[in-house]
């Protein structure tokens, strides 16, 4: 039954993508996300009135592949095909979006199937609603969930085709035609070739899925265009700037721990309060590292369903962080909200 649903969904997305791009509907080719026309770079200041550096700031959201994905692979410990679980995460997404919006920000929301396909099949408009409110929609790509176990030997074209398929579901669920950013696929040395083929041009959130750690060579506040990808051991090409590179990589900030991207879920993290205290210290360190005349960035990742620290006020910790830490820095001109693609556009404009 699920295979039949996927087939119907597959052709529905084909029709949507064809209409969105002004092309005749295809009958038997995989769904695709055409490379969007180049847009004018976002004009974001890199210095405030005092001539000091500005730190561009955002919160990203990863939606994990819970349940059978569009490609038929089982994934995750829970299942978005179960309506109660899906709706609970939708409510979390709405709550987080409202909190961020109240502080003048917009998130970069990174989705994948089965969340996207369940949203399409059920008629849930959460992604379209958030896009309409100014949040950026993007791809979070767990390669094993969409290509199977050990996908690194697969060809660039195979990766590209499946990334395009996942992008097309985001386009359908979100009512958008411009998906530029992705996270994931981190151990595939030819990842950037596949991403460029799929029409993507902004990347971040690198961590090894095997160790849940980030190589310290990727730590910092200034974006660059990598000369190539990595297998998780050799970062030579990844850390080498290629002025003609197709992909802009956004470091996450001046963190000082290799497990900063996963420590919140570790047993020794100390809970939500300790994690957000570490975020505060890392944000201040990033401000100190920021350079006038350059694009400087800082961001961190949240997930629906992970705010469990205080049952009476689960989202209070992020509300306090934004109120007590971020808002004063925005008011002083030291920090400015920007989605990930806006950060990349600011860098491209320099």
What tens digit of pLDDT does each residue of 210-252 get?
898 999 999 999 999 999 999 999 999 999 999 999 999 999 9
Q: What does the pLDDT average to over 43-59?
A: 84
The pLDDT of residue 262 is 64
User: Mind listing the pLDDT tens digit for each residue in 65-97?
Assistant: 999 999 999 998 899 999 999 999 999 999 999
Instruction: Determine what percent of the chain falls in helix, strand and coil, rounding each to the nearest 5.
Output: 40, 15, 50
What b/e readout covers 267-299, taking b as 16+ CB neighbours within 10 angstroms?
eeeeebeebbebbeebbebbbebbeeeebbbbb
The pLDDT of residue 268 is 65
User: pLDDT above 90 covers what percent of the chain?
Assistant: 76
| pLDDT tier at 263, thresholds 50, 70, 90 | low
Q: Which residue has the higher pLDDT, 298 or 26?
A: 298
- What is the distance between the alpha carbons of residues 19 and 77, in angstroms, rounded to a whole number? 36
32: cis peptide before it, omega within 30°?
no
The hierarchical CATH code for the domain 2-29+44-349 is 3.20.20.370
The pLDDT of residue 339 is 98
pLDDT at 64 over 70: yes
Q: Are 218 and 251 in contact (CB under 8 A)?
A: yes
The pLDDT of residue 267 is 55
- What is the distance between the alpha carbons of residues 174 and 130, in angstroms, rounded to a whole number? 8
Q: Which residue has the higher pLDDT, 48 or 7?
A: 48
pLDDT at 272 over 90: no
Q: What does the pLDDT average to over 11-39?
A: 39
pLDDT at 266 over 60: no
The pLDDT of residue 52 is 87
211-219: Cβ within 8 A, 24+ apart: 212/259, 212/261, 212/262, 213/258, 213/259, 213/261, 213/262, 214/252, 214/255, 214/258, 214/259, 214/260, 214/261, 215/258, 216/258, 218/249, 218/251, 219/251, 219/252, 219/253, 219/254, 219/255, 219/256
The pLDDT of residue 20 is 43
pLDDT at 301 over 50: yes
C-alpha closest to that of 65 among 156, 143, 145, 162:
145
Instruction: Output the CA torsion 142→96→43→244 (10° steps).
Output: -10
Region at 345 (left for phi over 0; alpha for psi -120 to 50; beta for the rest): alpha
The pLDDT of residue 264 is 61
pLDDT at 309 over 70: yes
Q: What does the pLDDT average to over 138-147?
A: 98
In the structure encoding, which two tokens stand for residue 6, read together?
Answer: 């996927």
The pLDDT of residue 28 is 30
- What is the distance between the alpha carbons of residues 107 and 68, in angstroms, rounded to a whole number? 26
Q: Count Cα atoms within 13 angstroms, Cβ side, for 93.
A: 28
Q: What does the pLDDT average to over 30-38?
A: 35
Q: What value does the mean pLDDT of the chain take?
A: 88
The pLDDT of residue 48 is 75
User: Mind listing the pLDDT tens digit for each residue in 144-203?
Assistant: 999 999 999 999 999 999 999 999 999 999 999 999 999 999 999 999 999 999 999 999
- What is the distance between the alpha carbons of residues 252 and 229, in angstroms, rounded to a whole number? 17
């Amino acid at each position: 039954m699920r295979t039949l649903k996927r087939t119907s969904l597959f052709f529905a997305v084909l029709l949507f993508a064809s209409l969105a791009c002004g092309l005749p509907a295809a009958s038997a080719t995989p769904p695709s996300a055409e490379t969007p026309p180049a847009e004018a770079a976002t004009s974001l200041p890199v210095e405030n009135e005092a001539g000091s550096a500005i730190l561009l700031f955002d919160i990203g959201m990863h939606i994990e592949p819970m349940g059978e994905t569009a490609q038929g692979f089982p994934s995750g410990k829970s299942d978005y095909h179960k309506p109660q679980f899906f709706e609970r995460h939708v409510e979390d997404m709405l709550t987080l979006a409202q909190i961020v919006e109240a502080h003048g920000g917009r998130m970069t929301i990174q989705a994948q199937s089965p969340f996207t396909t369940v949203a399409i099949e059920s008629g849930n408009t959460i992604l379209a609603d958030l896009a309409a409110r100014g949040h950026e929609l993007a791809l979070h790509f767990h390669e094993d969930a969409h290509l199977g176990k050990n996908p690194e030997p697969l060809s660039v074209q195979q990766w590209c085709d499946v990334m395009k398929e996942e992008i097309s579901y985001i386009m359908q669920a979100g009512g958008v035609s411009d998906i530029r950013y992705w996270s994931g696929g981190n151990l595939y040395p030819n990842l950037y070739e596949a991403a460029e083929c799929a029409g993507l041009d902004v990347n971040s959130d690198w961590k090894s899925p095997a160790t849940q750690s980030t190589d310290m060579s990727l730590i910092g506040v200034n974006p660059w265009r990598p000369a190539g990808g990595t297998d998780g051991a050799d970062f030579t090409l990844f850390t080498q700037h290629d002025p003609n590179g197709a992909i802009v990589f956004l470091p996450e900030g001046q963190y000082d721990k290799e497990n900063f991207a996963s420590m919140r879920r570790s047993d020794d993290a100390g809970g939500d309060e300790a994690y957000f205290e570490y975020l505060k210290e890392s944000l201040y360190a990033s401000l100190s590292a920021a350079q006038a005349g350059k694009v400087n960035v800082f961001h961190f990742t949240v997930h629906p369903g992970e705010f469990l620290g205080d049952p009476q006020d689960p989202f209070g910790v992020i509300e306090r962080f934004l109120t007590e830490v971020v808002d004063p820095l925005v008011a002083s001109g030291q920090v400015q909200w920007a989605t990930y693609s806006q950060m990349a556009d600011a860098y491209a404009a320099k």
